[in-house]
Amino acid sequence: MRRFAQLAMLAVIGAASLWSVGGAERTTSKTYEFTYRVNVQHIPKAAKRLELWIPAPQDDDRQSVSQVRVVSPYQYKQITDPLYGNRAYYLDITPSLPDSLPVSLTFHVRRNESGALRATLAETDALRRRYLQPDSLVPIDGAIANEADTVAGHLQGNRIRARALYDHVLATMKYDKSGTGWGRGDAIFACNERRGNCTDIHSLLIGMARSLGIPSRFTMGFPVPDSLKSGGISGYHCWVDLYFDDEGWVPVDASEAIKHPEKADYFFGRLGPDRVAFSTGRDIRLNGDADSTSVNYFINPYVLVDGQPYKDVVLKCEFREL
């Protein structure tokens, strides 16, 4: 009888680690304290105006953000771009500028392993159409469309087509950051050179998928090392969601699958908790209106000094598993 009670308790515990919210199956989760530190350095003495945008982490069914704290010597406000819903902290300083500007963002985030997400009511028709359109560096015609059609145009069903494109990218692309040209998310560069980092690899996949009528969205964030409990993070990471009518938004990470081919099946349909999402989309208008500043993707701080992009900016990210 005692043995039966122990087994019943284990079953309850197991069931608690496998549950569903909004169509997303959850099996594991991790909670982190994440710190995003920015320092704008050597600001010119003659400068009259400085604008700074810092991306804010996103809340969705895959992660929950809490205890957000911004430390800044100047007043800031939170803004949201109306198309993708990306949030940012915005500082506009004039006329007396400091020599340097340190700002930090600290928050807790609970990140869940997950599969497909159902579309939400917040996804407008305009946004759905946007995920079928080209980006400035991701065309959906020409060589991109021809490659997609050759690989998967003859197949039936968007999931089958998408898996064929994914397998093709894994077989023909290298994760390679040597030389120049990589890192911009340039699908034509990836198509021609067959190499790049996560942005290039996923841009090619998105361009091909959209050319076949498969809605595809791009997410930027940071990887969290699975083998460590705390430390620094050296760079960003990105991944993709592909939309299938009978499943919703299915996560795909071709970049990680190229690095770990033994996990290719896993990364077509699941994401682990070893990442934090910050922004979605490309060609993001930071202040929302048609005339506002547009960025290729939004994960690094963006700075304008007297209306011109300013590059003397240091970013340091740290995490601690809670």
pLDDT of residue 292: 72
Q: How many CB atoms lie within 10 A of CB 166?
A: 25
Q: How many CB atoms lie within 10 A of CB 185?
A: 27
Rounded to whole angstroms, the Cα distance separating 30 from 251 reads: 18
Torsion 16-22-25-27 (CA) sign: negative
Query: Which residue's entry shows tokens 């810092």?
Result: 54
Rounded to whole angstroms, the Cα distance separating 256 from 267 reads: 7
Task: Check if the beta carbon of residue 230 is closer than 8 Å to that of residue 320.
Answer: yes
Map out the domains of the chain with their CATH numbers.
30-112+283-321 (2.60.40.2250), 125-272 (3.10.620.30)
Global pTM reads 0.89
Rounded to whole angstroms, the Cα distance separating 91 from 253 reads: 33
Burial of 176 (0-12, 13-18, 19+ CB in 10 A): middle
Rounded to whole angstroms, the Cα distance separating 301 from 225 reads: 22
For residue 84, the Cα-to-chain-centroid distance in whole angstroms is 12
Rounded to whole angstroms, the Cα distance separating 322 from 315 reads: 23
Phi then psi for residue 312, to 5 deg, are -80, 70
Q: Beta strands 77-80 and 29-40: pairing type?
A: unpaired
Reported for 64-69, long-range contacts at CB under 8 A and 24+ positions apart, including other chains, are 64/109, 64/110, 65/107, 65/108, 65/109, 66/107, 66/108, 66/109, 66/110, 67/106, 67/107, 67/108, 68/105, 68/106, 68/107, 69/105, 69/106, 69/107
Rounded to whole angstroms, the Cα distance separating 245 from 252 reads: 16
What is the pLDDT tens value at each position of the chain, 322 positions in all?
344 334 333 333 333 333 333 344 445 899 999 999 999 999 999 999 999 999 999 888 899 999 999 999 999 999 999 889 999 999 999 989 999 999 999 999 999 998 988 877 667 777 888 999 999 999 999 999 999 999 999 999 999 999 999 999 999 999 999 999 999 999 999 999 999 999 999 999 999 999 999 999 999 999 999 889 999 999 999 999 999 989 999 999 999 999 999 999 999 999 999 999 999 999 999 986 666 778 999 999 999 999 999 999 999 999 999 9
Residues in the chain: 322
Rounded to whole angstroms, the Cα distance separating 295 from 193 reads: 24
What is the 8-class DSSP label of residue 120?
A: -
